[in-house]
């Protein structure tokens, strides 16, 4: 069964708008679990624009499976190896970006990524690399020792529904998921997935987990977190 990881970053975004104490990311995470989410994802950014260090401590102590999204920096590696979340997904990060803009450059940063993967594995943390659906990057991910990749679906999500561009991007995601699986990687997907485009996302073979944040949190403002998560899970049952 295809699993759902809910990214709760933007619960923290709402809190940080007033620099207050609510809404609490942990409370949202526990509701997500109650609604059937398999895991919780949180991105501790270097600039701490949403999730804070204290949030990560609360989450790792209270949720069943925490996936920590993190940049490839010494600071984040130190935090991850201290907290020991269930898994870490290494992502590219730019301070000026609104959200993650593309996949990790594995080929040209191979030695550093290998060292990070080993360090996380030494602390019994599962490792995923957030990458674009590109064969060279996938092959390098295999060599790095990471168990998972998370295919960046943002380019797909930014195309118009029914367009030739969307069909091409979906075809590329499908082909690269097949390629990665044949090389022994487990494949997740995430970024820009919502209640409408998920119908096409479910055409990608061999997926283990979808990580979805903004669309669920946005919908939760209108219908509540439990219902927002439940509706997404219902759509995923078609997989």
CA 193 to mean position of chain CA atoms:
11
| pLDDT tens by residue, 180-218 | 999 999 999 999 999 999 999 999 999 999 999 999 999
Sign for the pseudo-dihedral over CA of 29, 32, 37, 43: negative
State what percent of residues in the chain have pLDDT above 90.
95
Residue 93 known to be catalytic = no
Beta bridge partners of 187: 149, 207
Identify the active-site residue in 33, 69, 169, 209.
69
Q: What percent of the chain has pLDDT over 70?
A: 97
Question: Can you tell me the distance from the alpha carbon of 125 to that of 84, in angstroms, rounded to the nearest whole number?
Answer: 6
206 tagged catalytic: no
Half-sphere exposure of 197 (CA within 13 A, CB side): 24
The mean pLDDT of the chain is: 96
Where residue 41 sits, what CATH number does that domain have? 3.20.20.70
10, 43, 152, 219: the catalytic one is 43
Residue 100 pLDDT level (bands cut at 50, 70, 90): low
Structural domain including 98 reads 3-236
pTM exceeding the 0.85 threshold for the entire prediction:
yes
Query: How confident is the model at residue 93, as a pLDDT?
Result: 77
Q: Is 75 a catalytic residue?
A: no
Number of domains in the chain: 1
């Amino acid at each position: 069964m295809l699993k759902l990881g809910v990214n709760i970053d933007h619960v923290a975004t709402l809190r940080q708008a007033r620099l207050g104490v609510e809404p609490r990311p942990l409370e949202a995470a526990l509701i997500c679990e109650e609604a059937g989410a398999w895991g919780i994802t949180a991105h501790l950014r270097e600039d701490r624009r949403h999730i804070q260090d204290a949030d990560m401590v609360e989450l790792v102590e209270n949720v069943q499976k925490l996936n920590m999204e993190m940049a490839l920096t010494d600071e984040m590696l130190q935090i991850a190896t201290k907290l020991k979340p269930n898994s870490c997904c290494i992502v590219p990060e730019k301070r000026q970006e609104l959200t993650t803009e593309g996949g990790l450059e594995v080929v040209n940063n191979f030695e550093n990524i290998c060292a990070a993967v080993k360090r996380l594995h030494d602390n019994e943390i599962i490792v995923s690399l957030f990458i674009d659906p590109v064969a060279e990057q996938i092959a390098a991910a295999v060599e790095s020792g990471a168990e998972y990749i998370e295919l960046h679906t943002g380019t797909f999500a930014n195309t118009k529904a029914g367009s030739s561009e969307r069909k091409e991007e979906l075809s590329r995601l499908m082909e690269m998921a097949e390629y990665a699986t044949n090389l022994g990687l487990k494949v997740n997907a995430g970024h820009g997935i919502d209640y409408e485009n998920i119908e096409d996302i479910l055409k990608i073979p061999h997926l283990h987990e979808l990580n979805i944040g903004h669309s669920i949190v946005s919908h939760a403002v209108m219908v509540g977190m439990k219902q927002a998560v439940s509706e997404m899970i219902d759509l995923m049952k078609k997989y």
